[in-house]
Amino acid sequence: MALPDKSFPVSWDQFHRDARALAWRVASVSKEWKAIVTITRGGLVPAAIVSRELEIRVIETVCVASYHDYDTQGQINVLKKISADLLTDEGQGVLIIDDLTDTGKTAELVRSMIPKAHFATVYAKPKGMPQVDTFITEVSQDTWIFFPWDMGFTYQEPIAGAGKG
Ligand SMILES: O=P(O)(O)OC[C@H]1O[C@H](OP(=O)(O)OP(=O)(O)O)[C@H](O)[C@@H]1O
């Protein structure tokens, strides 16, 4: 898979801080969220943090699998839909959580399922921004975000030696 030149590595500490900031932000929108719907898999970690902060105990998943390069979004398959219980009143009072909106295609699809829910992501790229109600940090479209759950400690070549045999 081709990766963009710019990278934005996020540590666990940074992610926790940003997800907590998202909790503060959505708490200012409403004090009475009925439930969280989290988009798997990237939404699971921020949903855990937001649910803890706001004491939301009803947590639902919408499970999607998509195949995409860094700047394009391919086909999205819905593996599990949202429970009918949460679709009454078109999802009014429900909070949707994801880690990132990138092209906005995932958000557009989930919004079509539950149109009155409030859509919140930790990070947002410009193409996806119109699809979300709340986000914390903007990241440029040509940047790849490295989330902490995808990372491991590896040796880093010294900058001076980069590219030498
Ligand atoms: O705005 P979009 O271009 O639709 O992209 C955003 C989606 O991409 C990521 O999920 P990913 O497809 O990497 O799946 P995963 O969370 O299961 O790893 C992220 O968690 C969003 O759900």
Taken in order of first residue, the domains within the chain and their CATH numbers are 8-143 (3.40.50.2020)
Query: Which of the residue ranges 3-17, 46-60, 119-133 would you say has the lowest mean pLDDT?
Result: 3-17
Binding residues for xanthine: 102, 145
pTM of the model: 0.91
* pLDDT tens digits, 40-96: 999 999 999 999 999 999 999 999 998 766 556 678 999 999 999 999 999 999 999
- Confidence grade of residue 2 (pLDDT, cut at 50, 70, 90): low
Amino acid at 109: L
Whether 150 is catalytic is no
Count of Cβ atoms closer than 10 Å to residue 157 Cβ: 9
Ligand 1 pocket, Cβ-based, cut-off 6 angstroms: 39-42, 66, 68, 73, 98-107, 128
Whether 71 is catalytic is no
CA distance 162 to 108: 41
CB contact at 8 A, 73 and 66: yes
Q: What is the mean pLDDT of the chain?
A: 93
Catalytic residue among 5, 13, 98, 142: 98
Residue 115, CA distances (Å) to 48, 85, 106, 108, 138 in order: 23, 15, 13, 10, 23
Query: Relative to the CA of 103, which ligand 1 atom is closest?
Result: 3
